[in-house]
Amino acid sequence: MELKPSLSRQQTYKCLILGDSGVGKSTFLRRHATGQFRDEHVPTKGVQVYTLLLQTNYQDLALELWDVAGDERHGGLLNGYFFFAQCAIIMFDLNVARSAISVARWLHSLEQICGKQLPVVICGNKSELERMPLDLLYHQQGNLDYCEMSARVAWNLEAPLELLCRRLLQRNDLKLISQPTLRPIASCSCDEAEMRQHMEQVRQQILPEKSEETFSYKGGNFKDCIVLN
């Protein structure tokens, strides 16, 4: 995929990338932008904006991706970034329970400023690693969706973008037609079928319509930490 801000304003959508520090937001963007994977964690300061041009089976569009620092000391959660956002990816680390619990907080902050109808994809990253004991529940009401990926092995990297484009253009059968041509980094092996099966299990745990929870995590020692929206 290309990073090229060449589309008109009408075809360009502001997309926030939110989530705790270290979950892999910048890595995800760097993978799309340059194909590279960096082992060390260099925390983002404030915000970095990239424009990603996407080709779909319906039309081309551009996502203006706002990579927001996950650590509040570096300027994360500053409401100013949220204004005029049209969609968002909220990322967490499938190995770090605390980051899954934080999803509800990020979602709440976002909804307070942008409203509940904003298309949002909750995205679990690092799926190639051993996962925390997991019981994630999410609510598919409104424009919320869920996927998992691994920026390290370049698995399912296009999924959050494709899901957002479907919501933005209101086309359930939309497909990205320019797939990233990224390869897993050397010395990294994983079981794609197993990762996909896990993701589908979570996707099927849809909360009942009337539930108050938008996204919750139950597992391990965190049973008391179910977060209500």
Ligand X SMILES: Nc1nc2c(ncn2[C@@H]2O[C@H](COP(=O)(O)OP(=O)(O)OP(=O)(O)O)[C@@H](O)[C@H]2O)c(=O)[nH]1
Cα torsion 184, 185, 187, 193 to 10°: value is: -20
Alpha-carbon distance of 96 to 70, in angstroms, equals 14
Q: How far is the CB of 25 from ligand X (least distance, A)?
A: 4
Minimum Å gap between C-beta 41 and ligand X is 4
Binding to ligand X by residue 32, rule CB under 6 A?
Answer: no
The yes or no reply on residue 48 touching ligand X (CB under 6 A) is: no
* Strand ranges in 149-229 using DSSP code E only, listed in sequence order: 215-217
Report the interface residues with Mg ion, using CB under 5 A. Answer: 25-26, 44
What values do phi and psi take at 225, rounded to 5?
A: -105, 20
Dist CA 100 CA 131 (whole Å) = 12
- Residue nearer to ligand X on the CB measure, 119 or 124: 124
98 binds ligand X (CB under 6 A): no
CB 82, CB 16: distance < 8 Å: yes
Q: Residue 11 Cβ, how far from Mg ion at the closest point, in Å?
A: 26
- Tell me the window of 38-46, 100-108, 178-186, 217-225 that interacts with ligand X (CB under 6 A): 38-46
Positions that interact with ligand X (CB under 6 A): 19, 21-27, 38-44, 69-71, 125-126, 128-129, 150-152
